[in-house]
């Protein structure tokens, strides 16, 4: 399956220490109504590191059920244990997800051969479309373009979410193979699409799904002037969403806009007051109305 366009890396709404299931279902339906092209539950933005396995699975189930097959659901199933990644990916398949997003194994720092074998093992174990996730700022290891090219030969590894922050990395990948690239950084969506990326897995679209979709749609419709205008308007908010560790700013934004609560689990904690002021200014400057 191909995953193209504007895809939202969903937050996981929490309330009183538990998953707010009603809020999650509502957010899924709002995203689809706004024209988003796909949804990624329980990725980094969905706070997967602090969810139990049962909670992780429940978020996938809720998202799949609420989406009603109207858009693809790409479940986050990455782990630094290959066996655990296989188990989570099997569950995603069983739950009806259309794909699985697997971050590069973190902390144990596998070699490039280890990365290849990790993804190869998951792909062979589960017949589901797999999206690699390169985010060396969190995983410490970079999936090299050469490793991506090797993995591209495995039929059900269909794309990579590229969040290295490097334009050269995407250029190198696309010079070596025809793997679909999705931007993993909102501020780089337009530049990476100009290089050949097929869209974005976005944090900002939790707040502005219609506008992120407009940027991507305008580019692929050939209206590059419009795409640039939308990019420039969104850019200050793209930066504000990462003024502290994701998803702290985006969840605070959603609370301020009345979309859901902004509860977090330690070790994530509420924004520092000075940074919150910067975030609020960026939201207001864009023209958004603060509700809480």
CB of 89 within 8 A of CB of 125? yes
Residue of 161, 198, 251, 255 with catalytic role: 161
3-state DSSP percent of the chain in helix, strand and coil, to 5:
50, 15, 35
> 55-61 long-range CB contacts below 8 Å, 24 or more apart?
55/19, 56/88, 57/88, 57/91, 57/95, 58/19, 58/21, 59/12, 59/19, 59/24, 60/91, 60/92, 60/95, 60/97, 61/95
Q: Please confirm, yes or no, whether 286 is among the known catalytic residues.
A: no
DSSP letter assigned to residue 262: -
C-alpha dihedral sign at 69, 73, 77, 83 = positive
Q: Please confirm, yes or no, whether 161 is among the known catalytic residues.
A: yes
Residue of 93, 119, 133, 251 with catalytic role: 133
C-alpha dihedral sign at 209, 210, 215, 218 = positive
Residues noted as catalytic: 133, 161
């Amino acid at each position: 399956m191909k995953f193209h366009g504007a895809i939202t890396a969903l937050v996981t709404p929490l309330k009183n220490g538990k998953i707010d299931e009603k809020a999650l279902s509502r957010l899924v339906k709002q995203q689809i109504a706004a024209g988003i092209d796909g949804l990624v539950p329980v990725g980094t933005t969905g706070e997967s590191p602090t969810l139990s396995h049962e909670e992780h699975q429940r978020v996938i189930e809720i998202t799949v059920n609420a989406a009603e097959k109207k858009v693809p659901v790409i479940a986050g199933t990455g782990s630094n244990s290959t066996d655990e990644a296989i188990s989570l990916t099997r569950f995603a398949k069983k739950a009806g997800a259309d794909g699985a997003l697997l971050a590069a194994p973190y902390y144990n720092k596998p070699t490039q051969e280890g990365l290849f074998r990790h993804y190869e093992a998951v792909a062979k174990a589960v017949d589901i479309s797999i999206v690699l996730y390169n985010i060396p700022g969190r995983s410490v290891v970079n999936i090299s373009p050469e490793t991506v090219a090797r993995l591209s030969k495995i039929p059900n590894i269909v794309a990579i979410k590229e969040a290295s922050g490097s334009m050269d990395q995407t250029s190198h990948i696309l010079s070596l193979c025809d793997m679909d690239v999705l931007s993993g950084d909102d501020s780089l969506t337009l530049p990476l699409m100009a290089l050949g990326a097929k869209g974005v897995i976005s944090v900002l679209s939790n707040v502005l799904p219609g506008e992120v979709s407009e940027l991507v749609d305008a580019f692929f419709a050939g209206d590059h002037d419009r795409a640039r205008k939308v990019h420039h308007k969104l850019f200050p908010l793209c930066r504000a969403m990462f003024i502290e560790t994701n998803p702290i700013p985006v969840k605070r934004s959603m609370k301020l806009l009345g979309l859901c609560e902004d509860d977090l689990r330690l070790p994530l904690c509420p924004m520092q007051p000075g940074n919150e002021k910067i975030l609020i200014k960026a939201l207001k400057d864009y023209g958004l109305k603060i509700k809480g």
